[in-house]
Amino acid sequence: MASPYLKTLLPYSPGKPIEEVEREYGVAGAAKLASNENPFGPSPLAVKAIQEAAAAVHRYPDGAGTALKAHLAERLGVASAQIALGNGSNELLELAARIFLQPGDEAVMAQPAFIVYRMVCQALGAVAVEVPCRDFVHDLPGMAAVVSARTKLLFVGNPNNPTGTAVPPAALEAFVRRLPPEPLLVLDEAYWEFLPERERPRSLDWVREGRRCFVLRTFSKIYGLAGLRVGYGIGPPELIGLLDRLRAPFNVNALAQGAAAAALEDRAHVDRTVAGTAEGRTALTAGLAALGLPAVQSVTNFLLVDVRRNGAAVAEALLRRGVIVRPMGGYGLPTHLRITVGTAAENARALDALGAVLGA
C-alpha cells in the first residue's frame, strides 16, 4: 500500500553519535568529524536563550516564527514575507520538492552533491538529473544544458557538500541570468558563512529582483545549533506562502527560535568559528598531505580526501580508534572520506588514527 517510490529509497545515513561509538567500540573521548557540526560549540548567548525559553515549553511555539523572521529580515535586508523557517534547512529542501515535483518531473543537481537532493526527488517519483562535477566543482554550463521543459527544480549547493568547493560568484551570476524563468533554483548556502566576503555570490539580490530563487541557510553549521534543527529560506513571497500551506503548524520549536535569534547577535562567536575552522582546515590539510593524501581544496568546515582504498573499511577502522568520519560510497566516491574540521585536539587525533590505520 505504500508509495512505490519509497521502495528504492534507502534511509539517510547520518554520522554515528559519539555515545554509540564509545559504547560499541569501547573507546573514550571519541571525535565526531562526520556531520560538519561546529566543534567549538554553540554561542553562550544561544545557550542562555535556551535556558530562558525552557521555562515556557508548556506553550506551543510561535507558529509563524514572527520574532526570528523579523530578526532575519532586518539582518538580511529582505521582508519577513520573503522568509520561511524550517526544521533544519533539510525540511525546506523537502518541502520545496513536495511543492514542485510530481512523478516524472525532473530536478537537476550536481554529482556529487548533498544526497538529500536526490532523496527528496526519489521519494516523489521525480527524476534526479545528475551532472558530474568537474574537478569537484559544479559544472554550471553542463547543468544549464540539461534544463528542459520537464525541469522543475535546480539544486546548487554553494559551497557544495561533500566536495567543499564553491563556484566563483561571477560564474554563478552568469548561470542565474541565463536560466529560463520556470524552474526554481534552490541555492543551498548551508556553509555560506565560511566563505570569505569576496567569494560570496549576490544571491539575496536575485531574490530581491524577483527571480525564482530560493536561498537556504542554516543555524546547524556556523552557529553550532545542529541539535535544535532550525534553518531558513529566502525566496519570493508566493513561494513562502506555498511553504506555509504545506509545513507542519509548529515546525520550528520554541527553544530553537529563541536560540537562533540570540546566535544571530553573537558575531564574536561566528568570527571565532571562522578563524578556528580556517586554522584547523590548514592543519588537517597539511597533516593529510604528509600522509600522502591530498584533500580537495575546501572553503568549508570539512575536507574530502581520497584514501585510495576502500573508504568504508578505513572509516570502520577509524571508529575503532574513536574517530568518526563519513565514508563516501553513497556519494559514488568509494575511496573517499569526508572529514569535518574539528578542534585542534580532534584534528590531531584524526591524523594520528589515520596514519596508524593506513600504515597497518
Ligand X SMILES: Cc1ncc(COP(=O)(O)O)c(C=O)c1O
Applying CB under 6 A, the residues found at the interface with ligand X are 36, 88-90, 114, 157, 161, 188, 190, 218, 220, 226, 231
| Cβ at position 15, least distance to ligand X in Å | 9
| Cβ at position 290, least distance to ligand X in Å | 27
Of the candidates 276, 278, 274, 281, the residue with the CA atom closest to the CA atom of residue 296:
281
Amino acid at 296: V
C-beta of 239 vs 357, nearer to ligand X: 239
Which helix (H) or strand (E) segment holds residue 259: the answer is helix 254-265
C-beta of 184 vs 357, nearer to ligand X: 184
C-beta of 82 vs 220, nearer to ligand X: 220
C-beta of 231 vs 276, nearer to ligand X: 231
Tell me the C-alpha to C-alpha distance, in Å, between residue 98 and each of 46, 47, 93, 103, 117: 32, 34, 9, 11, 12
C-beta of 169 vs 355, nearer to ligand X: 169
The count of residues in the chain is: 360
| Cβ at position 88, least distance to ligand X in Å | 2
Report d(CA 22, CA 31) in Å as an integer. 10
35: left (phi over 0), alpha (psi -120 to 50) or beta: alpha
CA 116 to chain centre: 10
| Cβ at position 104, least distance to ligand X in Å | 25
CB contact at 8 A, 113 and 129: no
Residue 66, SS3 per DSSP: helix
C-beta of 94 vs 266, nearer to ligand X: 94
Measured CA angle at 162 (ends 212, 73), to 5 deg: 40
45's grid cell:
548567548
| Cβ at position 96, least distance to ligand X in Å | 12
| Cβ at position 116, least distance to ligand X in Å | 7
C-beta of 252 vs 357, nearer to ligand X: 252
State which residue has the least CB distance to ligand X: 88
Of the candidates 6, 11, 13, the residue with the CA atom closest to the CA atom of residue 324:
13
Residue matched to cell numbers 503548524? 249
Tell me the torsion sign for CA atoms 99, 170, 220, 8. positive
Q: What DSSP line would sit under 105-158, residue for residue?
A: -EEEEEES--HHHHHHHHHTT-EEEEEE-BTTB--HHHHHHT--TTEEEEEEES
272's grid cell:
571565532
The values of phi and psi at residue 184, to 5°, are -85, 130
| Cβ at position 215, least distance to ligand X in Å | 12
| Cβ at position 3, least distance to ligand X in Å | 23
| Cβ at position 300, least distance to ligand X in Å | 9
C-beta of 151 vs 340, nearer to ligand X: 340
C-beta of 252 vs 351, nearer to ligand X: 252
